[in-house]
Amino acid sequence: MSFALTILGSSGALPAYGRFPTSQYLTIQNRHFLIDCGEGAQMQLMKYQLPIHKINHIFISHLHGDHYLGLMGLLFSMHLQKRVNDLHLYAQKGLDEIILLQLKYSKSALSYTIRFHVFEPEQQAILFEDDAVTVTTIPLAHKLPCAGFLFREKDKLFKLDKQKLLPDMKLQHLALLKTGADVFDDSGNLLYRNSEFTLPPTPAYSYAYCSDTAWNEKIVDQLKHVNLLYHEATFMEEERDKAIETKHSTTLDAAHIALQANVGKLLIGHFSARYRELEPLLAEAQTKFANTALAIEGITFELPA
């Protein structure tokens, strides 16, 4: 699976009805990301047979406990299993102090190095970038400073049409064709026209994770046309007053954001413990945005769908 999201936890502040606090596992082109790490995240990783030691980047949206209290257990398990690779941890100021304090008083020295990357949640910033993926913060509106994360693939290479390749083509010619360029000789004469030897590249996909937030139209422009959007929907619309009080969203808030941003698919989660059954929340969101799904434990969403 080149681009796949597995839900580890879908509950709000309290675990309820078999639902765990927020955590998600995302793979993009053999890169493995953990997004938030609520209580029990490592148990869920084991339950769904996800490779813990391939996780090299963990993104924490904010410092409410239901989004990071599973982290220390996971970090210690990685140590006990002799991890050696660096682990990159992206969070706002404070989480580094929390972790280092626990290590100090347990007199623990991890077998690997944690690289802390502190970000300002109120600002859009690129947190991670390599040759295939960028990860950018999405400023949100919550009781504590909070940020979501936008994962976006870079444009991919053209595919070579093997049936049309010629025996005398050189490796450097093939490499140029894959970039979308035509190939010329030293005198500027056209050797190979790109369109004659390649197939269109696989589309680049995107995933936006909007953690805890009140209704916030400011994020719409950043979310325009993403393929997959997760947006919290803690309450149904009849509890709008509670959503406003706690700076959370309703199902219709999430649906309106998805509609305005013209996203491909909406996932809703972070459900209040007051709801045993989730189908009413899904049905309500679908009245405004039909292509909505519940982001519940164990489900994997792949792109392309």
198-199 vs 159-160, strand pairing mode:
antiparallel
Angle at 17 between CA 13 and CA 21, to 5 degrees: 30
Among candidate residues 36, 66, 212, 253, the one labeled active-site is 66
User: Positive or negative CA dihedral for 141, 27, 74, 44?
Assistant: positive
Distance CA 22, CA 24 (A): 7
Closest CA to 252 of 286, 203, 207, 217: 286
How many residues in the chain?
A: 305
Instruction: Break the chain down into helix, strand, coil percent, rounded to 5.
Output: 25, 30, 45
Closest CA to 237 of 222, 218, 254, 216: 254
- Single out the residue of 125, 129, 115, 131 nearest to residue 149, CA to CA: 125
Q: What angle (nearest 5°) sits at the alpha carbon of residue 48, between those of residues 96 and 296?
A: 80
- Catalytic (active site) residue 66: yes
Beta carbons of 9 and 16 less than 8 angstroms apart: no
Which residues have a Cβ under 8 Å from the Cβ of 175 and sit 6 or more positions away? none
Query: Alpha carbon of 88 to those of 100, 108, 110, 133, 272: distances in Å?
Result: 15, 19, 14, 15, 31
Amino acid at 32: H
Question: Where in the sequence numbering do the catalytic residues fall?
Answer: 66
